[in-house]
Amino acid sequence: MNRPAQTGSSVQQGGLVVFSLDMRAVDLIVKKRDGGALAADEIEFLINGYVAGEIPDYQVSAFLMAAFFNGMTGAESGALTRAMINSGTTMDLSALPGPLVDKHSTGGVGDKVSLILAPLAAACGLQVPMMSGRALGHTGGTLDKLESITGYSTALDADRFAEIISQCGYAMTGQSRDIVPADRLLYAMRDVTGTVESVPLITASIMSKKFAEGAEALVFDVKSGSGAFMKTLDDSRRLAESLIATGESLGRKIVAVITRMTEPLGYMVGNFVEVVESAYCLMADRAPSNFRYPADLMDVTIRLTEWMLVAGGVSDGVTEAEKRCRDALADGSAYERFRQNVAAQGGDPELLEAGLESRRSPERQTLTADQSGYVTDIDAYQVGMAGVYLGAGRSKTDDEVLADVGVELYRKVGDEVRAGEPLCTIYAESTSSLEEAARRVTSAYCIDAAPPTVEPLILDELTSL
Question: At 392, is the secondary structure helix, strand, or coil?
Answer: coil
Is 225 one of the binding residues for ligand URA (CB under 6 A)?
A: no
Is 133 one of the binding residues for ligand URA (CB under 6 A)?
A: yes
| Whether 269 contacts 379, CB under 8 Å | no
> Quick one: how far is CA 160 from the chain centroid?
22
Annotation says 57 is catalytic: no
Comparing C-alpha atoms, which of 211, 200, 174 is closest to residue 82? 211
List the beta strands (DSSP E) in 333-383.
363-368, 373-378
Is 224 one of the binding residues for ligand URA (CB under 6 A)?
A: no
Comparing C-alpha atoms, which of 378, 365, 360 is closest to residue 417? 378
Is 206 one of the binding residues for ligand URA (CB under 6 A)?
A: yes
**Closer by beta carbon to ligand URA, 235 or else 336:** 235
Is 278 one of the binding residues for ligand URA (CB under 6 A)?
A: no
Taking CB under 6 A as the binding criterion, the range among 201-209, 211-219, 357-365, 367-375 that sits at the site for ligand URA is: 201-209
Is 47 one of the binding residues for ligand URA (CB under 6 A)?
A: no
Which residue in 86, 205, 242, 301 binds ligand URA (CB under 6 A)? 205
Is 259 one of the binding residues for ligand URA (CB under 6 A)?
A: no
For ligand URA, what does the binding mask look like between residues 69 and 108, x meaning CB under 6 A? -------------------------------------xx-
DSSP summary character for residue 125: T
Burial of 377 (C-beta count, 10 Å sphere; 0-12/13-18/19+): middle
Tell the smallest beta-carbon distance from residue 228 to ligand URA (Å): 10
Among residues 103, 104, 134, 411, which one is catalytic?
104
Is 136 one of the binding residues for ligand URA (CB under 6 A)?
A: yes
| Whether 93 contacts 60, CB under 8 Å | no
**Closer by beta carbon to ligand URA, 107 or else 393:** 107
- Rounded distance, CA 242 to CA 207, Å? 10
- Rounded distance, CA 47 to CA 24, Å? 13
Tell the smallest beta-carbon distance from residue 133 to ligand URA (Å): 4
Annotation says 209 is catalytic: yes
Tell the smallest beta-carbon distance from residue 452 to ligand URA (Å): 28
Is 173 one of the binding residues for ligand URA (CB under 6 A)?
A: no
Tell the smallest beta-carbon distance from residue 190 to ligand URA (Å): 7
Is 236 one of the binding residues for ligand URA (CB under 6 A)?
A: no
Among residues 209, 237, 394, 411, which one is catalytic?
209
Is 393 one of the binding residues for ligand URA (CB under 6 A)?
A: no
Annotation says 464 is catalytic: no
Residue 244 makes CB contacts below 8 A (sequence gap 6+) with 254, 256, 462, 463, 464
Residue 337 makes CB contacts below 8 A (sequence gap 6+) with 119, 120, 122, 123, 168, 169, 170
Comparing C-alpha atoms, which of 84, 258, 48 is closest to residue 187? 84
Question: DSSP alpha helices (H): ranges in 213-294?
Answer: 233-249, 272-283
Annotation says 361 is catalytic: no
Taking CB under 6 A as the binding criterion, the range among 19-27, 144-152, 200-208, 218-226 that sits at the site for ligand URA is: 200-208
Annotation says 183 is catalytic: yes
Comparing C-alpha atoms, which of 165, 258, 268, 261 is closest to residue 215? 165
Which residue numbers are catalytic?
Answer: 104, 183, 190, 205, 209
Query: What are the residues binding ligand URA (CB under 6 A)?
Result: 106-107, 133, 136, 202, 205-206, 209
